[in-house]
Amino acid sequence: MRVAAARLVCLVALLGSAACASDAPREVAPSVAAYCGEDAEAVEARIDALLGEMTLDTKLRMMAGSRPGVVGGVWEVPGAPEHGVPGLHMLDGPRGLSAFTDLEGTAFPVGSARGATWDPELERRVGAAMARELRAAGADVLLAPTINILRHPRWGRTQETYGEDVHHLGEMGVAFIEGAQSERVIASAKHYAANSIDDTRFDVNVVVDERALREIYLPHFRRAVTEAQVGSIMSAYNFVNGDHCSESTHLLRDILKGEWGFAGFVESDWLLGTRRTAPAVNAGLDIEMPAGNHFARGRLLAAIDEGAIELETIDEAARRILRAQLCFDLDTDPALRDPARLPMEAHHGLAREVAERAMTLLRNEGGLPLERAGTLAVVGELAARENIGDLGSSNVRAPYVVTALEGIEAAAGGATVVHLSEPLDAEDEAALEAADAVVVVAGLTEDDEGEGGIASGDRESLALPRGQDALIEAVAARSERVVVVLEGSGPMLAPWLEEVEAVLMAWYPGMEGGHAIAAALFGDVNPSGRLPMSWPVAEADLPPFDNESLEVVYDYWHGYRHLERSGVAPAFPFGHGLSYTRFELGAPRLEREVLSGMDDALVVEVEVTNGGEREGVETVQLYVSVPESAVERAPRDLRAFGQVRLEPGASGTVRLEVPARSLAYWGEAGWTLERTGYVAHVGTSALDLPHAAPFRVE
């Protein structure tokens, strides 16, 4: 169909461009073919024709959003209806249909919660579900996923990203993008690049050496492009090594579009995301959002007149913008606004499933699961609060939110639930003493963390705010059986840890979160979440977080790699999470112990046995060390993970695959795969790695 359409356009246009005149098969770069699929040739031919027909004005108009605010519930980039080009219609975002539209959407658990599922297949379904809601809101570009490295958990947007590890972030991001794009929605991986501080996000210059950039800050973006064929990339607000991200030739033209062969378009981030005209266009920024300021027609024309921008550069941007629209069939199958379909009820069950899978049991000295008998006291300011995350661009208008208290009350069965509000008086204290168990719901809210500039920004510290430590300690002094449920984006210091029986990390669990919390507490669901970031004892254990200076250095070290290198134990390691059952891991079996080069892969099988009395999910993690590397490597790097769900007494096999290229380091000569010995460490967290298996690259 596409081929026929392209020929028709050529005939009608009578342009005589090479592709039309000869009708010869068009040479399409492999990366364009991968981006566009079987339509690639026809689409490129049609774009050739369109570029010949369109006036310069029409092309320039496509290079900027139409207005600073949403139009009809979406941010719009004009198309060219006279040429059958529909334009783009953008909306956030990372946890569901953006509240910037006027419609209600399903509020999923935030990115860090979904990171804790370590389940890319589930994340693929989340991406697809968000995309379906976006289309029903009339949008065709989903401003997600956020795949910035969590360098430090004080970052205000910790909740939007999946975690601290390069490999884990890549797996989850690729799955989300593939899910979203399977619904003919263009995903937009953001924010490219090194965007991990919010308070200074508009001005900060991140100084990062090429090795840290290539190995830590970019690999998951590369995978978004080369594996998931992400439709678009959003440039970041910050500067990298002195260049604004919208003007970084190195990031945009050389690496993204050059080395990785990215075939889609780059749009700027919103408020101050574009700073100048010619430097941005020439570096490879294709669209200024949300409206044309530096990319306003007059400014672009002036730059062209002065010779600062070549017409071919405009054509290249226009080609990318057209390609995305045509490859995603936006011309023939547009997203049609249909508020009656929103929010999609079928997705509420998915929001609950994800929340249940995200529940991360950090500590359990026997406090959990709770019995459905006796008296259960529920305390803490967050127990009855709707707490689903940031009020910035990731905010969603949920049709309802189940609080922890509501969830517990609904699930309590034979237990009597008493809710004690603060400040606790003598009567409340007596009730605590009389209760069979106490659940304290504590943590962070949208007042403590969020997007900079438009919401709360970075966290002030890793401590629990508003006197919650004192509350937990006061409760622990009156009850032997205290369970702390924590809500928030990530790690919080827990000076009271040894005084409580159990700690359940619930994240910002989305609109169904209260039910998921209760299911984990009462044991209806066996917790299977695993930390996607390290949980430090003290903030000083992490690299510094500087959200005041206008220049920061991002070196090679953060997260578990930093902690292990400096010999500091975390409160809970990366990858950690307990279960109500017990799993045993067999010794890893390597398919081959010698790999032959970049395109080879290590294949490992691990047998897992559920030795307990409950069905459960185990996440097997494989970390690699390079004992005799020529350069300093991390003590261990996560390179693969996989999951298995097992009935009590059952065994199953997890198959793990480590592409040899992921073992390469970035050196003087580019990617270097050392011919040396490696060790695969297999276990269930960065610090619980009972099995080691050597292998070699020859």
| CB of residue 454 to ligand BGC, shortest distance in Å | 6
Per-residue contact flags (x/-) with ligand BGC for residues 433 to 472, judged by CB under 6 A: ----------------------------------------
Per-residue contact flags (x/-) with ligand BGC for residues 386 to 415, judged by CB under 6 A: -------x----------------------
| CB of residue 270 to ligand BGC, shortest distance in Å | 4
3-state secondary structure of 322: helix
Nearer to ligand BGC, 271 or 384 (CB): 271
Backbone angles phi, psi at 48, to 5 degrees: -55, -45
Nearer to ligand BGC, 88 or 578 (CB): 88
Strands ordered across the beta sheet of 75-77: 75-77, 88-91, 141-142, 186-192, 232-235, 265-267
| CB of residue 269 to ligand BGC, shortest distance in Å | 5
Query: Is 269 near ligand BGC (CB under 6 A)?
Result: yes
Stretch that binds ligand BGC, among 263-271, 496-504, 564-572, 583-591 (CB under 6 A): 263-271
Query: Is 193 near ligand BGC (CB under 6 A)?
Result: no
Per-residue contact flags (x/-) with ligand BGC for residues 66 to 105, judged by CB under 6 A: --------------------------xx------------
Which residue has tokens 């399409």?
A: 28
Nearer to ligand BGC, 97 or 525 (CB): 97
| CB of residue 66 to ligand BGC, shortest distance in Å | 15
**Binder among 59, 89, 135, 190 for ligand BGC (CB under 6 A):** 190
Nearer to ligand BGC, 48 or 92 (CB): 92
Query: Is 275 near ligand BGC (CB under 6 A)?
Result: no
Q: Which helix (H) or strand (E) holds 603?
A: strand 601-610
Question: Does the active-site annotation cover 198?
Answer: no
Backbone angles phi, psi at 37, to 5 degrees: 75, -150
Structure tokens at 515: 């039910």
- C-beta of residue 479 within 8 angstroms of C-beta of residue 430: no
- The conformation of residue 581, written as its DSSP 8-state character, comes to S
Query: Is 151 near ligand BGC (CB under 6 A)?
Result: no
SS3 string, 472-538, reads HHHHHCCCCCEEEEEECCCCCCCCCHHHCCEEEECCCCCCCHHHHHHHHHHCCCCCCCCCCCCECCC
**Binder among 56, 271, 418, 598 for ligand BGC (CB under 6 A):** 271
Binding residues for ligand BGC, rule CB under 6 A, total: 8
Within 465-504, which residues bind ligand BGC (CB under 6 A)? none
**Which residues, in sequence order, are bridge partners of residue 377?**
418, 438
Q: Judging by beta carbons within 10 Å of its beta carbon (0-12, 13-18, 19+), is residue 361 exposed, middle or buried?
A: buried
| CB of residue 290 to ligand BGC, shortest distance in Å | 7
Nearer to ligand BGC, 124 or 190 (CB): 190
Which residue has tokens 């967050």?
A: 382
Q: Which among 59, 82, 85, 87 is positioned nearest to 315, based on CA atoms?
A: 59
Nearer to ligand BGC, 99 or 471 (CB): 99
Q: Judging by beta carbons within 10 Å of its beta carbon (0-12, 13-18, 19+), is residue 346 exposed, middle or buried?
A: exposed
| CB of residue 547 to ligand BGC, shortest distance in Å | 15
Please report, to the nearest 10 degrees, the dihedral formed by the alpha carbons of residues 465, 469, 470, 474 taken in order: 140
Which residue has tokens 């589930």?
A: 122
CA angle 409-411-417, nearest 5°? 35
Which residue blocks in 14-149 are alpha helix, DSSP H? 18-22, 30-36, 40-53, 56-61, 111-115, 120-136
Q: Which among 532, 489, 553 is positioned nearest to 167, based on CA atoms?
A: 532
Query: Is 270 near ligand BGC (CB under 6 A)?
Result: yes
Of 165, 198, 199, 269, which residue is the catalytic one? 269
Query: Is 143 near ligand BGC (CB under 6 A)?
Result: yes
| CB of residue 40 to ligand BGC, shortest distance in Å | 28
Nearer to ligand BGC, 272 or 497 (CB): 272
| CB of residue 398 to ligand BGC, shortest distance in Å | 18
Nearer to ligand BGC, 44 or 269 (CB): 269
Q: Judging by beta carbons within 10 Å of its beta carbon (0-12, 13-18, 19+), is residue 34 exposed, middle or buried?
A: middle
Q: Which residues are catalytic?
A: 269
Binding site for ligand BGC (CB under 6 A): 92-93, 143, 190, 269-271, 393
